Amino acid sequence: MKEVGRPQLQIALAAIDEGNELVVVKLNRLERNQVEAIARLHGLQKKGIYIRTPDGLLSTRAISKLTPVLLGLLSGLAEVEHSLTRENILEQIQHRLKTGGKFGG
């Protein structure tokens, strides 16, 4: 996997060992899209590294064999949410362009 951007994540991944747990605030902090996030999580799982979110929504240590199913669902939902937010923003821009509204503060 190409290691680009997110320098703090790269530092954390370089320091973590088998059996350790990486805590991420949100799954989208691991990668930019669903496919990359699942690939990253799969790779970490193969290395024996667990992922957990502080809100308790995800703990790969606790669900082990169900991890790929849950991760696919969660990352898919996150991607849908991102898409809806993007569509909403584009609609607001179009509305402001049509009505002569201002952009920014």
Q: Which of 3.30.420.40, 3.40.50.1390, 3.30.450.20, 3.30.70.260 is the CATH number of 7-99?
A: 3.40.50.1390
Would you state the pLDDT for residue 20? 94
Would you state the pLDDT for residue 19? 92
Would you state the pLDDT for residue 41? 81
∠53-70-55 over CA atoms, to 5°? 20
Ranges of each domain in the chain = 7-99
Would you state the pLDDT for residue 63? 77
From first to last of its 105 residues, what are the pLDDT tens digits of the chain?
455 567 888 898 899 999 999 998 887 778 877 778 777 888 888 899 998 889 887 788 877 777 777 767 777 777 788 888 899 999 999 999 999 888 776
∠19-25-26 over CA atoms, to 5°? 100
Would you state the pLDDT for residue 59? 83
User: If DSSP codes are grouped into helix, strand and coil, which group holds residue 104?
Assistant: coil
Q: Model pTM? A: 0.58
Would you state the pLDDT for residue 2? 52
